[in-house]
Amino acid sequence: MSTLVVVADVPISRGETATGPSDTGSVHAVDFRASEPKEPVFAEITSRWNGAFLWAPASASRDTITRFGDEARAVFGPIPDGDCSSDKARILPLQVDGNLVDLKPNPHKEGHPLEFEHRDATGNIVKWTTGITQCDKPSLAGSAAYCGLNSRLHRVEQGNVDWLFLCRKSSRNGEVEPTPYWQRSNPKFALYGVIGFNRLTGETAFFDGRKDRREFDWTQKLVPPGGRSYDDDKGRAAAEALYDPTFQVECSACHDNKSAYVITPSIQQARVGFLDRSDPNAIAFSLGNLLPKTPRSRSTPFRVIGSGYTGTYRISLERASTVSDPTGNCTQCHTLTTQVTGQRFAADAVAKAPTIIRPTRSQFLRLKAEQRKLREINAHRTIWATRTGAGKIHPWMVPVEGNSLSTAVPEINTSDWSALSNCLWGAGGAECNYKPLYTPCPIPGASEQGDISEPVDFSIKVLPVPLANLQTDRVLRLGWKYLNSYGGVPQRDDVRFNVVVKSVEIPNTGAAPFDRDYPGRDEADDRNFAVIAGEVGTSGEAMFIRNVSFLGHSRFTEPKPSTELRAFQVDLPARCNRRYLVRVMPKRFCFDQTVLVYGRKDYVQHADISCPELKSP
């Protein structure tokens, strides 16, 4: 417990004036009339003095997308524009029968019709075809073209935060045709997705382009949700027209392996679907290590940000679990879940149909639907991809040896797969060692949850009001310092402070207060806040000032990046010959269904304001 006592009268410090609170530390002269009700007057004065710095993050708009963008900036810092035309954006290759395929005018035919050019790893043209119905590594997404080509992926790294922008060409029927749309030079695309991910904290956010919009254009930079700042009116309006406010696609069902991305063969990473990274095909056709490894265990923090998204998928987020493979084959290196990574990606990886030993009717129907989807995917896979011998790429994972796909390495057997699949469909028992996939919103200062940020340097100053005729006798100035360092984001802005204060008579003995005398933790809880003026109100027997931000961070402005402690200050009207008991409570805005979590530690202090000239004779 942090306590500090100040006994007035204390002279005003050099440089402090009584003209109004500001970044430099001045105060207002206020007419605090004794005949007026105490609580409304206290609230009005406190709100007037401090109101610029009393505000909740991401509270500027009720629009679903704008609020979502503001929440994301408060956690991840600035969001870059979506730019799939960047020199750093990568084209997702398409591989057919071990060759690279692109859509080009065929110079060998009259009129140069668009056809599919097939080149081998050395760049030689192998053949031309008029259609593509199968490919070596079809998409597992289920909502995009199976053998789409010339989509683009852009990765932007900002400190500990990764931003991934996927501009995916696709079609409503899932097939590819020799039309200009599919050419590399055509900037039109059908599906736009954005993922933000903090590699330290596991926090992730998903944004999707609108589903009632048939085309996007990557020659135009795509504005982030919420615009680039609170005052970017033009960008905020553009974002509301760009992003899907219904969250039609449940991105977290696939991107659920405690990382920003799930590596499957269709993304063409060098380490998946090739015998080794020195394979000529891997060098010629893959994206190399565009998406780096981020080793993450079952206990690694992982949390979805965005109140609109998490509200839509609350139940599935609560039910999602990680699984331990009871046979010891597949979860020593990988995080598998009871969502799509387990039920679809794992099944495709081992080339086995998902199964449940004793399914319920609901499980049976979902299982049949998934088996049907996997058959559709497999029907779009070339025979070449499943052939035996050197270069085999399907199945694309095997027990123990992982990505070593030669025929010398045995595949998972039917019995072991049945036991694992049963767990992945949530039908197992203790042998599956189920654990919640998503971890809770981190409590401020809870080091066991990875947040070591704590408020420090608490102080109280008692400043006189220099005009003798005022009934506000003194100004009680509270101060402390704090840096929200969770996740290593210099602009992180998801923590505020609540301040609750009680005024009592100074005991004749002047004895220090007991712990029970201070406002309780429950009185600093927003659920007990009763508003009077702005962000000032009451809670039980205490006055309540909520959502205190740091000095200089006025309402709906972007925080300047900092790695140094930030200064916090609250000025309160105070009367002579009274004791003021104060509790300061840090709280985190979770931007999910948890809403808020509060610090566990007690930060309390008191001040006795003794003014002898005002005592009765």
478 lies in a domain? yes
pLDDT at site 435: 94
Comparing CA positions, the residue from 237, 235, 139 lying closest to residue 190 is: 139
Task: Please count the CA atoms within 13 angstroms of the CA of 613 that sit on its side-chain side.
Answer: 4
529 lies in a domain? yes
The whole domain housing 502 covers: 5-62+447-614
Beta bridge partners of 496: 587
pLDDT at site 98: 85
Helix (H, G, I), strand (E, B) or coil at 440: coil
User: Per the structure block, which two tokens stand in for 522?
Assistant: 């429950």
Element (H, E) at 323: strand 321-323
pLDDT at site 408: 60
Name residues of the chain where pLDDT drops below 50: 2-36, 469, 614-617
pLDDT at site 409: 64
What CA–CA distance (Å, rounded) separates 531 from 518?
21
148 lies in a domain? no
What CA–CA distance (Å, rounded) separates 167 from 209?
10
pLDDT at site 4: 47
Cβ atoms 116, 178 nearer than 8 A: yes
Comparing CA positions, the residue from 446, 550, 445 lying closest to residue 497 is: 550
Cβ atoms 132, 101 nearer than 8 A: yes
Q: How many residues in the chain?
A: 617
pLDDT at site 17: 36
pLDDT at site 24: 41
374 lies in a domain? no
pLDDT at site 32: 39
Beta bridge partners of 464: 474
Q: Cβ contacts of residue 496 below 8 Å, gap of 6+?
A: 56, 57, 546, 547, 548, 549, 586, 587, 589
138 lies in a domain? no
590 lies in a domain? yes
Please state the domain count of the chain.
1
pLDDT at site 272: 58
Cβ atoms 548, 50 nearer than 8 A: yes
470 lies in a domain? yes
111-138 as b/e: b if 16+ CB within 10 A = eeebbbbbbbeeeeeeeeeeebebbbbb
159 lies in a domain? no
